Amino acid sequence: MYKKILVPLDGSALAEVVLTHAKALAYSEGAEIVLLRVAANPALEFAFADPALAQSAVNQFEAEAQKYIDDLIANLKNDGYQVSGILAEGPIAEMILQVSEDIKADTIAMSTHGRTGPTRWLIGSIADRVVRSSKVPVMLIRPQS
């Protein structure tokens, strides 16, 4: 039933909580885990003031994100999982949904960050936006506090 599980990660331990659940689902279904690291462009703030600084920020983020994904892929492959990784840049919820369609994911597995009140209002909930717009099932895991 599930052959591709998209797992968006933001580099935090909170986001990685979903990996235990994604691994269990992948094991039971013989599915591939596709790790996704999305970033809003950190250089936009600097783009008009200093283009060189903007490019440097983008390059640094890409290198760190690639290492992060590569390390996770290596660990999961060592555990016997079929896994791949994707780096993307853009509005986070929209990129998760786009990549899900592009790779023909059967499900999206992600952690919530549990924001409430003004923080949720200001930042919004990426998980909420993904759940409302996804064409495939979404498994949300709320990390224990």
Inter-residue contact 63 to 85 (CB < 8 Å): no
State the pLDDT at residue 59. 79
Q: Which two tokens stand for residue 52?
A: 């060189």
**pLDDT the model gives residue 41:** 60
- Domain ranges, residue 113: 4-141
Distance between CA 17 and CA 115 in Å, rounded?
16
pLDDT for position 116: 53
- Please report the pLDDT score of residue 6 as a whole number: 98
Q: What is the pLDDT of residue 115?
A: 56
Residues of the chain with confidence (pLDDT) below 50? 119-123
CATH number at residue 9: 3.40.50.620
Domain count, the chain: 1
pLDDT for the residue numbered 36: 97
Q: What local confidence, expressed as pLDDT, does residue 136 receive? A: 98
Q: In 3D, which of 123, 117, 141 has the Cα closest to residue 40?
A: 123
Alpha helices (runs of H) in 79-125, residue ranges in sequence order = 92-103, 117-123
pLDDT, residue 121, reads 47
pTM of the full structure: 0.85
